[in-house]
Structure 1
Amino acid sequence: MVPPDAGSRILFFSGGTALAPVAAELSRHTRNAVHVITTFDSGGSSAELRRAFGMPAVGDIRARIMALADRSLEGNPETVALLGHRLPKDAAPEALRAELASFASGTHPLAAAIPEPMHEVITQHLSAFRALMPADMDLAGASIGNLVLTSGYLSLDRQLEPVVRVFSGMVQARGVVLPVADACAHLCVKLENGEVIVGQHRFTGKAAGPVTSPILDMWLTASLDDPTPVTVPVHPRLPAIIHGADLICYPVGSFFSSVMANLLPDGVSRAIREAACPKVFIPNLGTDPELFGLSVQDQVAYLLRLGGGGGGRSLDWLLVDEDESRYPGGIPSVWLSRLGVRVRRARLVAEPPYLDAGLLCRELLGVWK
């Protein structure tokens, strides 16, 4: 059995929470998995931080680090509990500021439970955040972990990757989390009916109603008020990390805002095509509001288009459950074969309708050739 420290370098392009159980399970087998996370979300508590400080989204990064945290180490369960805590959504502004002050002073029970030196590190970050936050900032539902990440980002000359590395070390994350880009950009989509929607939170079907026409295209913009496309460079370290992967995975999750969004920065697709390792796509089971009107074949076509151009390949495999009726529209095996994309069928569902993290990890850690 391969020890986790020498485990496979599986690289995921993802965001959100759909992959969290798989990430946690996989961390038992390898510490070398890389989670490339989108930084373009515009909803949730990250939205207020982006409004206040003009920064990339950090919520998905914080969530993935928490999924990878080593809870077996002394003091880590307490640290994870604090960093995962959210301020109330329905409290008055004065009460929210008072609760944040208790965290910053270290007197809140969740803060008081954390041993030194981590207690001082976290309280200093929260004190710094309180000094920097605008007077009109809305703290309702704010994640304490997001506030710590933001404090670090602002104190390190607005550089995201070093802060992510330090934050990962705080909980001894069993894997590598890397932002796909360090830029304050937003997602923009065009629907089949011609409608253009700016902002991830406006088309995911969570904060606003779901799309009622298929998404045809997606790009990055500089502002929530202007759909003009902008070019965003990939994080400088990422191409080399992609080249060194043993397996590249486009996993389950919100197809456009969590997975495909990672292919938008300039340089990502080229690095994927240049990588010698297999590339696998795991389609969602059930309903993803972003995939209104789109079949698995449509998803593959979109992935190939966004990752296409130049030499090399952006997709080699589809990994699907043995029961193909779980996929709307089925699996287009003949069409995929003509494209040179192979289908790997396996038992991925133990208790319908959800993918089983253990079964999926077993397949990802298997041989791909």
Structure 2
Amino acid sequence: MQIKITRTIDFPDPVRLARYRHCPDLGPKILFFSGGSALKNTAAELIQYTHNSIHIITPFDSGGSSAVLREAFKMPAVGDVRNRLLALADRSFHGNPEVLRFFAHRFPGNTDQNMLEWELEQMIKNEHPLISNIPDPMQKIICHHLNIFKNYMPDTFNLKKASLGNLVLSAGYLDSRRNFDTILYIFSKLVHVRGIVRPVVNKYLHLITELENGQIIAGQHNLTGKETAPISSKVKKLWLSSSRKNPVPAEVCILKKMAKLISKAELICYPVGSFYSSIIANLLPSGVGKAISQNPCPKIFIPNTGNKDPETYSLDINEQIEQLLSYLRKDDPGNISVNNVLNFIIIDKENGNYPGNPDKGWLKNMDINIINTPLVSQESRPFIDARLLVSALLSLA
């Protein structure tokens, strides 16, 4: 039997926080749709209170060393997944600092390829200082996966600036018949990850963007403004394609196990980060919005502060909410109501710097509540303080 109850809470709730901190193994299942880096500090703070958070990550990154792996093996990007796994790792375990140092290491970009291949071989043989300090069985597992990668590595593969963590994840993915679950399980046990991390889909796909000025942008790295010039027009439409050269929309659906994972969440969060390439991109596969709408838990949007996201060119906060709702409801706009996919907007009106002010009347008509609470500290200004954000989310869970 299921019943629905309504309760009044203190916000933030210090008693609830103390309870979670005392027993994080029984902490709430807070689900985040995001990319890999924006929630780094939040994830590290979160594991003090819950070991059950769920992180749905975009696997469409087409820049940096991820692009080299994607093109060599026609596989999803693993860099953002790796970043979140490391952020959730428990650093208190013996050997973990050494393992995390290894997974965060990159080959230099100014070294000869032959020298890099020799260095990789030294790691495989356990004759490299980055490996020799790692205790067993972690050491043997890492060496084994580096050897797997070497066997899969094409002769033309460029190791310059390659992330060692990405190489290990890619090796496990390829050796498991292109199944992410096996290597993510091994990796999570290896570094004691305190949460669940999954890519939203296990496919080689490209993020395609159409701007209002008619420009078509193929590839996530060309949208973010980090590796190329920022966009100079609003985003009109976003979709996924199996080809950058012929960027027609691809039919992409989430698996039943992803829908089941979403259904287990006790709170769903659309957090700070790159608005389109991190949040909206996660909502593009069919079935995501439907799965969210069928989960009765609270759903929260936390807008960026500081006006530093190039992707939200000329978008005010209300337009961001409108865009978010559009993609959340796209599976079935006639039957997915607004309050099935979004219930709260959390802002810091006093200390945050937002593009415009939320339209209270418009939001009230849609039954979306605004929560005004401290999120920006003196130390974090103009950005959100991870400690304050985690406190707010846990109080609602």
Segment drifting more, 94-103 vs 251-260:
94-103
Q: Secondary structure at the match of 2:209?
A: strand
**Deviation of the 1:269 alpha carbon:** 0.6
Contact map agreement 1:161 1:182 (CA 8 A) in 2: no
Corresponding residue number in structure 2 for 1:184: 204
Deviation, structure 1 residue 207: 1.3
Decide whether aligned partners of structure 1 residues 128 and 16 sit closer, same or farther in structure 2, where only a CA change above 3 A counts. Answer: same
Q: Distance in 2 between matches of 1:89 and 1:357?
A: 32
Corresponding residue for 1:360? 389
Report the alpha carbon displacement of residue 298 of structure 1 after superposing the two structures with TM. 1.1
Q: Is the 8 A contact 1:9 1:246 kept in 2?
A: yes
State the Cα distance separating 1:329 from its structure 2 match. Answer: 1.6
Assess if the C-alpha contact under 8 Å between 1:182 and 1:235 holds in 2. no
Partner of 2:258 in structure 1?
238
2:374 corresponding residue in structure 1 = 347
Aligned to 1:311: 336
Q: Letter of the aligned partner of 2:172 in structure 1? A: G
Deviation at 1:161, TM superposition (A): 2.2
Query: Match of 2:256, SS?
Result: coil
Q: Which residue of 1 aligns with 2:10?
A: none
**Alignment partner, residue 273 of structure 1:** 293
Equivalent of residue 76 in structure 2, options 35, 51, 56: 56
Q: Which residue number in structure 2 is paired with residue 326 of structure 1? A: 353
Tell me if structure 1 keeps the 8 A contact 2:352–2:382.
no
- SS in structure 1 at match of 2:321: helix
Of residues 45, 62, 71, the one that matches 1:42 is 62
The Cα RMSD (Å) is 1.2
What's the offset of the Cα at 1:160?
1.2
How many Å separate the matches in 1 of 2:112 and 2:255?
A: 39
Determine the structure 1 residue equivalent to 2:16.
Answer: none
In 2, the alpha carbon distance for the partners of 1:89 and 1:212 equals: 31
Structure 2: 5+ residue stretches without partners: 1-18
Q: Normalised by the size of structure 1, how large is the TM-score?
A: 0.97
1:73-84 → structure 2 map (5 Å cutoff)? 73-84=93-104
Opposite residue 391 of structure 2, the aligned amino acid is R
Residue of structure 2 equivalent to 1:94: 114
Map 1:157-236; keep pairs closer than 5 Å.
157-236=177-256
Task: Tell me how far 1:325 sits from its aligned partner.
Answer: 5.7
Secondary structure in 1 matching 2:237: strand
In the aligned structure 1, how far is the partner of 2:244 from the partner of 2:273?
A: 23
Per-residue deviation, residues 177-205 of structure 1 (Å, max 9, x unmatched):
11111111110011010111110011110
Tell me, what secondary structure is at the counterpart of 2:239?
Answer: strand
Deviation at 1:223, TM superposition (A): 1.4
Q: Is the 8 A contact 1:186 1:199 kept in 2?
A: yes
Unpaired runs of 5+ in structure 1?
none
Question: So what's the TM-score if we normalise by structure 2?
Answer: 0.90
Cα distance in 2 for partners of 1:165, 1:121 equals: 13
Letter paired with 2:104:
G
Deviation track 1:148-184 (CA, whole Å, cap 9, x = no partner) reads: 0000011101111222122111101011111111111
Identity among equivalent positions (%) equals 45
Q: Which residue in the other structure is 2:365 paired with? A: 338
| Alpha-carbon distance between aligned partners in 1 of 2:353 and 2:266, rounded to the nearest angstrom | 28
- Contact 1:16/1:253 (8 A) holds in 2: no
2:319 counterpart of 1:298 = yes
SS at match of 1:63: helix
Shift of 1:132: 1.0
Q: Which amino acid aligns with 1:306?
A: Y
- Partners of 1:104 and 1:139 in 2: CA distance: 15
